[in-house]
Protein backbone atom coordinates (compact mmCIF):
# COMPACT_ATOMS: atom_id res chain seq x y z
CA UNK A 1 0.00 0.00 0.00
CA UNK A 2 1.20 3.48 -0.82
CA UNK A 3 1.51 6.08 1.95
CA UNK A 4 -1.00 8.91 1.61
CA UNK A 5 -0.93 12.23 3.49
CA UNK A 6 -4.09 14.36 3.70
CA UNK A 7 -3.18 18.01 4.32
CA UNK A 8 -5.96 20.50 5.09
CA UNK A 9 -8.03 17.36 5.75
CA UNK A 10 -11.23 19.01 6.99
CA UNK A 11 -13.90 16.49 7.96
CA UNK A 12 -12.30 13.79 5.79
CA UNK A 13 -13.70 14.01 2.27
CA UNK A 14 -10.45 12.77 0.76
CA UNK A 15 -10.11 9.96 3.31
CA UNK A 16 -13.66 8.94 2.40
CA UNK A 17 -12.60 8.92 -1.26
CA UNK A 18 -9.57 6.79 -0.41
CA UNK A 19 -11.75 4.35 1.52
CA UNK A 20 -14.06 3.93 -1.47
CA UNK A 21 -11.08 3.74 -3.85
CA UNK A 22 -9.57 0.92 -1.82
CA UNK A 23 -12.83 -1.04 -1.92
CA UNK A 24 -12.46 -1.58 -5.67
CA UNK A 25 -8.68 -1.96 -5.97
CA UNK A 26 -6.13 -4.58 -5.04
CA UNK A 27 -3.45 -4.05 -2.41
CA UNK A 28 -1.01 -3.05 -5.16
CA UNK A 29 -2.98 0.14 -5.89
CA UNK A 30 -4.49 0.64 -2.44
CA UNK A 31 -3.70 3.79 -0.48
CA UNK A 32 -2.93 4.01 3.21
CA UNK A 33 -3.68 7.36 4.88
CA UNK A 34 -0.81 7.66 7.33
CA UNK A 35 -1.31 11.27 8.39
CA UNK A 36 -3.98 13.95 8.37
CA UNK A 37 -3.44 17.59 9.28
CA UNK A 38 -5.98 20.37 9.90
CA UNK A 39 -6.09 23.35 12.21
CA UNK A 40 -9.84 23.01 12.96
CA UNK A 41 -10.48 20.81 15.98
CA UNK A 42 -14.17 20.18 15.21
CA UNK A 43 -13.25 18.92 11.74
CA UNK A 44 -10.51 16.82 13.30
CA UNK A 45 -13.08 15.25 15.65
CA UNK A 46 -15.35 14.33 12.73
CA UNK A 47 -12.39 12.90 10.81
CA UNK A 48 -11.22 10.78 13.72
CA UNK A 49 -14.80 9.66 14.45
CA UNK A 50 -15.04 8.20 10.95
CA UNK A 51 -11.53 7.03 10.11
CA UNK A 52 -9.88 6.36 13.46
CA UNK A 53 -6.81 8.44 12.65
CA UNK A 54 -5.78 11.12 15.13
CA UNK A 55 -5.56 14.39 13.22
CA UNK A 56 -2.55 16.63 13.77
CA UNK A 57 -4.19 19.92 14.77
CA UNK A 58 -1.50 22.39 13.84
CA UNK A 59 -1.10 25.07 11.22
CA UNK A 60 0.99 23.71 8.37
CA UNK A 61 3.11 26.85 8.18
CA UNK A 62 4.19 26.23 11.79
CA UNK A 63 5.30 22.67 11.07
CA UNK A 64 8.62 21.28 9.95
CA UNK A 65 7.35 19.41 6.90
CA UNK A 66 10.39 17.13 7.05
CA UNK A 67 8.48 15.50 9.94
CA UNK A 68 6.09 14.13 7.33
CA UNK A 69 8.48 13.04 4.59
CA UNK A 70 10.85 11.41 7.09
CA UNK A 71 8.31 8.75 8.07
CA UNK A 72 7.96 7.04 4.66
CA UNK A 73 10.25 7.31 1.63
CA UNK A 74 7.45 7.41 -0.96
CA UNK A 75 4.34 9.45 -0.29
CA UNK A 76 1.35 11.02 -2.00
CA UNK A 77 0.30 14.42 -0.65
CA UNK A 78 -3.22 15.78 -1.07
CA UNK A 79 -3.57 19.55 -0.66
CA UNK A 80 -6.89 21.37 -0.24
CA UNK A 81 -5.80 24.78 1.06
CA UNK A 82 -8.42 27.37 2.09
CA UNK A 83 -10.27 28.61 -0.99
CA UNK A 84 -11.72 31.81 0.49
CA UNK A 85 -8.75 34.04 -0.42
CA UNK A 86 -9.22 33.15 -4.10
CA UNK A 87 -12.98 32.78 -4.54
CA UNK A 88 -15.37 35.47 -5.73
CA UNK A 89 -17.09 35.72 -2.36
CA UNK A 90 -13.81 35.97 -0.48
CA UNK A 91 -11.53 38.93 -0.04
CA UNK A 92 -9.98 38.47 -3.46
CA UNK A 93 -6.59 39.56 -2.09
CA UNK A 94 -4.62 36.34 -1.46
CA UNK A 95 -1.35 38.28 -1.26
CA UNK A 96 -2.63 39.89 1.96
CA UNK A 97 -4.48 36.91 3.39
CA UNK A 98 -2.75 34.91 6.13
CA UNK A 99 -4.79 31.85 5.16
CA UNK A 100 -2.41 31.55 2.19
CA UNK A 101 0.62 31.13 4.48
CA UNK A 102 0.26 27.34 4.53
CA UNK A 103 0.25 26.73 0.77
CA UNK A 104 3.16 29.17 0.44
CA UNK A 105 5.10 27.22 3.08
CA UNK A 106 4.42 23.96 1.22
CA UNK A 107 5.60 25.52 -2.04
CA UNK A 108 8.86 26.65 -0.41
CA UNK A 109 9.35 23.16 0.99
CA UNK A 110 8.82 21.54 -2.42
CA UNK A 111 11.28 23.99 -3.98
CA UNK A 112 14.07 23.38 -1.48
CA UNK A 113 13.72 20.04 0.29
CA UNK A 114 15.97 17.04 -0.34
CA UNK A 115 13.09 14.69 0.53
CA UNK A 116 9.98 15.11 -1.58
CA UNK A 117 6.62 13.36 -1.94
CA UNK A 118 6.40 11.20 -5.07
CA UNK A 119 2.96 12.56 -5.94
CA UNK A 120 1.30 15.90 -5.13
CA UNK A 121 -2.42 16.49 -5.77
CA UNK A 122 -4.15 19.83 -5.20
CA UNK A 123 -7.82 20.85 -5.18
CA UNK A 124 -9.16 24.40 -4.98
CA UNK A 125 -11.61 26.82 -6.57
CA UNK A 126 -11.05 27.62 -10.28
CA UNK A 127 -9.84 31.14 -9.44
CA UNK A 128 -6.82 29.62 -7.68
CA UNK A 129 -5.35 28.61 -11.06
CA UNK A 130 -4.69 32.24 -12.03
CA UNK A 131 -3.24 33.27 -8.67
CA UNK A 132 0.40 33.99 -7.86
CA UNK A 133 0.33 31.10 -5.38
CA UNK A 134 -0.60 28.70 -8.19
CA UNK A 135 2.14 30.10 -10.42
CA UNK A 136 4.72 29.70 -7.65
CA UNK A 137 3.59 26.12 -6.99
CA UNK A 138 3.76 25.18 -10.68
CA UNK A 139 7.23 26.74 -10.92
CA UNK A 140 8.49 24.79 -7.91
CA UNK A 141 7.07 21.52 -9.25
CA UNK A 142 8.63 22.12 -12.66
CA UNK A 143 12.03 22.88 -11.18
CA UNK A 144 11.89 19.63 -9.19
CA UNK A 145 11.04 17.67 -12.36
CA UNK A 146 7.44 16.80 -11.58
CA UNK A 147 5.23 16.03 -14.58
CA UNK A 148 1.86 17.73 -14.13
CA UNK A 149 -1.73 17.81 -15.30
CA UNK A 150 -4.17 20.50 -14.24
CA UNK A 151 -7.73 21.43 -15.13
CA UNK A 152 -11.22 22.15 -13.85
CA UNK A 153 -13.61 19.31 -13.07
CA UNK A 154 -17.27 19.26 -11.98
CA UNK A 155 -19.40 16.39 -10.62
CA UNK A 156 -21.84 16.92 -13.49
CA UNK A 157 -19.11 15.62 -15.82
CA UNK A 158 -19.32 12.33 -13.94
CA UNK A 159 -23.10 12.00 -14.07
CA UNK A 160 -23.73 13.54 -10.65
CA UNK A 161 -26.58 16.10 -10.32
CA UNK A 162 -24.54 18.63 -8.36
CA UNK A 163 -22.57 21.65 -9.52
CA UNK A 164 -19.17 21.94 -7.82
CA UNK A 165 -16.52 23.02 -10.29
CA UNK A 166 -13.04 22.90 -8.82
CA UNK A 167 -9.48 23.17 -10.07
CA UNK A 168 -7.28 20.09 -9.72
CA UNK A 169 -3.56 19.59 -10.19
CA UNK A 170 -1.78 16.22 -10.30
CA UNK A 171 2.02 16.20 -10.14
CA UNK A 172 4.36 13.21 -10.02
CA UNK A 173 8.08 12.67 -10.21
CA UNK A 174 8.12 9.41 -12.17
CA UNK A 175 8.68 9.48 -15.93
CA UNK A 176 5.88 10.05 -18.39
CA UNK A 177 2.89 12.30 -18.79
CA UNK A 178 0.08 12.50 -16.24
CA UNK A 179 -3.19 11.30 -17.73
CA UNK A 180 -6.24 13.50 -17.27
CA UNK A 181 -9.06 12.02 -15.18
CA UNK A 182 -11.51 9.99 -17.23
CA UNK A 183 -14.76 11.90 -17.71
CA UNK A 184 -18.01 10.06 -18.32
CA UNK A 185 -19.54 10.19 -21.79
CA UNK A 186 -22.25 12.89 -21.97
CA UNK A 187 -25.77 11.58 -21.45
CA UNK A 188 -29.23 13.07 -20.98
CA UNK A 189 -29.66 11.40 -17.60
CA UNK A 190 -27.87 11.61 -14.27
CA UNK A 191 -26.47 8.49 -12.64
CA UNK A 192 -29.09 8.98 -9.94
CA UNK A 193 -31.94 11.47 -9.41
CA UNK A 194 -32.00 13.92 -6.53
CA UNK A 195 -35.07 12.14 -5.18
CA UNK A 196 -32.93 9.08 -4.44
CA UNK A 197 -30.75 10.87 -1.89
CA UNK A 198 -33.55 12.43 0.14
CA UNK A 199 -33.93 11.58 3.80
CA UNK A 200 -37.56 11.10 4.88
CA UNK A 201 -36.64 12.04 8.44
CA UNK A 202 -35.74 15.50 7.16
CA UNK A 203 -39.41 16.23 6.56
CA UNK A 204 -39.97 16.52 10.31
CA UNK A 205 -36.88 18.64 11.07
CA UNK A 206 -38.16 22.19 11.78
CA UNK A 207 -34.77 23.84 11.22
CA UNK A 208 -34.81 22.80 7.55
CA UNK A 209 -38.02 24.57 6.54
CA UNK A 210 -37.69 28.08 5.13
CA UNK A 211 -40.17 30.72 6.28
CA UNK A 212 -42.75 31.47 3.59
CA UNK A 213 -42.03 35.20 3.83
CA UNK A 214 -38.34 34.60 3.07
CA UNK A 215 -39.23 32.42 0.10
CA UNK A 216 -41.58 35.10 -1.22
CA UNK A 217 -38.86 37.75 -0.88
CA UNK A 218 -36.04 35.74 -2.47
CA UNK A 219 -37.90 33.35 -4.77
CA UNK A 220 -36.34 34.73 -7.98
CA UNK A 221 -32.83 34.40 -6.52
CA UNK A 222 -33.13 31.07 -4.70
CA UNK A 223 -32.19 27.88 -6.54
CA UNK A 224 -35.25 25.74 -5.79
CA UNK A 225 -35.26 22.24 -7.26
CA UNK A 226 -38.11 19.80 -7.76
CA UNK A 227 -36.86 16.35 -6.69
CA UNK A 228 -39.48 14.69 -8.88
CA UNK A 229 -37.78 16.18 -11.94
CA UNK A 230 -35.23 13.53 -13.02
CA UNK A 231 -33.23 16.21 -14.86
CA UNK A 232 -32.90 18.46 -11.79
CA UNK A 233 -29.47 19.26 -10.43
CA UNK A 234 -28.39 21.00 -7.23
CA UNK A 235 -26.19 24.08 -7.07
CA UNK A 236 -22.85 24.10 -5.28
CA UNK A 237 -23.25 23.95 -1.49
CA UNK A 238 -20.95 26.44 0.20
CA UNK A 239 -19.86 26.89 3.78
CA UNK A 240 -22.54 29.58 4.22
CA UNK A 241 -25.44 27.24 3.56
CA UNK A 242 -28.09 27.66 6.24
CA UNK A 243 -26.85 31.19 6.92
CA UNK A 244 -26.84 32.91 3.53
CA UNK A 245 -30.16 32.77 1.71
CA UNK A 246 -28.78 32.92 -1.83
CA UNK A 247 -25.67 31.69 -3.68
CA UNK A 248 -24.83 29.12 -1.02
CA UNK A 249 -26.74 26.05 -2.27
CA UNK A 250 -30.08 24.74 -3.48
CA UNK A 251 -33.45 24.27 -1.80
CA UNK A 252 -36.10 21.60 -2.18
CA UNK A 253 -39.72 22.17 -3.15
CA UNK A 254 -41.89 19.89 -1.03
CA UNK A 255 -45.57 20.41 -1.78
CA UNK A 256 -46.33 24.09 -1.33
CA UNK A 257 -43.33 24.67 0.93
CA UNK A 258 -39.56 24.94 0.55
CA UNK A 259 -36.88 23.44 2.74
CA UNK A 260 -33.12 23.19 2.90
CA UNK A 261 -31.22 20.02 2.11
CA UNK A 262 -30.28 18.25 5.33
CA UNK A 263 -26.57 17.66 6.06
CA UNK A 264 -27.14 13.97 5.34
CA UNK A 265 -28.58 14.80 1.94
CA UNK A 266 -25.72 17.17 1.11
CA UNK A 267 -23.24 14.47 2.14
CA UNK A 268 -24.96 11.98 -0.17
CA UNK A 269 -24.80 14.44 -3.08
CA UNK A 270 -21.08 14.83 -2.41
CA UNK A 271 -20.66 11.05 -2.52
CA UNK A 272 -20.13 10.18 1.15
CA UNK A 273 -21.12 6.61 2.00
CA UNK A 274 -23.88 5.78 4.52
CA UNK A 275 -21.28 4.76 7.09
CA UNK A 276 -20.03 8.34 7.33
CA UNK A 277 -21.43 9.93 10.49
CA UNK A 278 -21.13 13.16 12.44
CA UNK A 279 -20.60 13.03 16.21
CA UNK A 280 -23.84 13.99 17.95
CA UNK A 281 -22.31 17.14 19.43
CA UNK A 282 -21.79 18.70 15.98
CA UNK A 283 -24.83 20.86 15.23
CA UNK A 284 -26.65 21.19 11.91
CA UNK A 285 -25.15 24.55 10.91
CA UNK A 286 -21.66 23.34 11.72
CA UNK A 287 -22.25 20.23 9.63
CA UNK A 288 -23.37 22.35 6.68
CA UNK A 289 -20.25 24.51 6.99
CA UNK A 290 -17.92 21.51 7.09
CA UNK A 291 -19.58 19.92 4.08
CA UNK A 292 -19.45 23.23 2.22
CA UNK A 293 -15.69 23.24 2.72
CA UNK A 294 -15.31 19.60 1.68
CA UNK A 295 -14.90 17.90 -1.70
CA UNK A 296 -16.94 15.89 -4.17
CA UNK A 297 -15.99 12.29 -3.43
CA UNK A 298 -17.11 11.33 -6.94
CA UNK A 299 -14.55 13.65 -8.53
CA UNK A 300 -11.76 12.92 -6.06
CA UNK A 301 -12.07 9.21 -6.79
CA UNK A 302 -11.62 9.95 -10.50
CA UNK A 303 -8.56 12.06 -9.71
CA UNK A 304 -7.11 9.24 -7.60
CA UNK A 305 -7.70 6.83 -10.49
CA UNK A 306 -5.66 9.11 -12.73
CA UNK A 307 -2.88 9.52 -10.18
CA UNK A 308 -2.88 5.93 -8.88
CA UNK A 309 -0.51 4.39 -11.49
CA UNK A 310 2.15 6.75 -10.17
CA UNK A 311 1.14 5.95 -6.62
CA UNK A 312 1.59 2.22 -7.27
CA UNK A 313 4.98 2.68 -8.93
CA UNK A 314 6.21 5.02 -6.22
CA UNK A 315 5.88 2.18 -3.70
CA UNK A 316 8.86 0.42 -5.32
CA UNK A 317 12.57 1.31 -5.42
CA UNK A 318 13.58 4.58 -7.05
pLDDT tens track for 32-72: 999 999 999 999 999 999 999 999 999 999 999 999 999 88
Could you tell me if 62 and 112 lie in one domain? Answer: yes
Boundaries of domain holding 220: 194-291
Is there a catalytic annotation at residue 9?
A: no
In a domain, 186, yes or no: no
Helices (H), the chain: 13-23, 41-51, 66-69, 101-112, 132-143, 212-218, 263-270, 284-292, 297-314
Residues 6, 50 contacting (CB under 8 angstroms):
no
Residue 182 in domain? no
**What does the pLDDT average to over 129-139?**
97
**Angle in degrees, CA 62, 64, 70, rounded to 5:** 150
Of these residues, 83, 100, 154, 236, which one is catalytic?
83
Let me know whether 106 and 12 are in one domain.
yes
pLDDT tens by residue, 142-189? 999 999 999 999 999 999 999 999 999 999 998 678 989 999 777 778
Q: Is residue 157 part of a domain?
A: yes
Look at residues 68, 71, 38, 33 and name the one whose alpha carbon lies nearest to residue 55. 38
Q: What is the pTM of this model?
A: 0.93
Separation of alpha carbons 7 and 81, rounded Å: 8
26, with CB counted inside 10 A (0-12, 13-18, 19+), is: exposed
Looking at the structure, tell me whether residues 73 and 160 fall in a common domain. Answer: yes
Residue 315: pLDDT band (50, 70, 90) is very low
- The pLDDT of residue 90 is 54
**Residue 210, exposed/middle/buried by CB under 10 A (0-12, 13-18, 19+)?**
middle
Q: How far is CA 41 from the centre of its chain?
A: 18
Residue of 17, 7, 31, 95 whose CA lies nearest to 308:
31
Q: Are residues 160 and 212 in the same domain?
A: no
What gap in Å lies between CA 71 and CA 95, rounded to an integer? 32
pLDDT score, position 73: 80
Amino acid sequence: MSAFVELFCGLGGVSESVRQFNCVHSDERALNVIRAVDINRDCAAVHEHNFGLAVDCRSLESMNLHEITATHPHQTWWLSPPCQPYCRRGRGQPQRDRRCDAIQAITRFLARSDTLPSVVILENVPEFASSQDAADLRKALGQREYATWSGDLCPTQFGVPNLRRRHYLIARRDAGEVASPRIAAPTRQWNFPIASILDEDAQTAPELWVDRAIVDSYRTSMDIVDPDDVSARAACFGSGYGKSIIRSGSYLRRGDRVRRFSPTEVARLLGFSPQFRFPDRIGVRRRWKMLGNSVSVFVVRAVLESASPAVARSAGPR
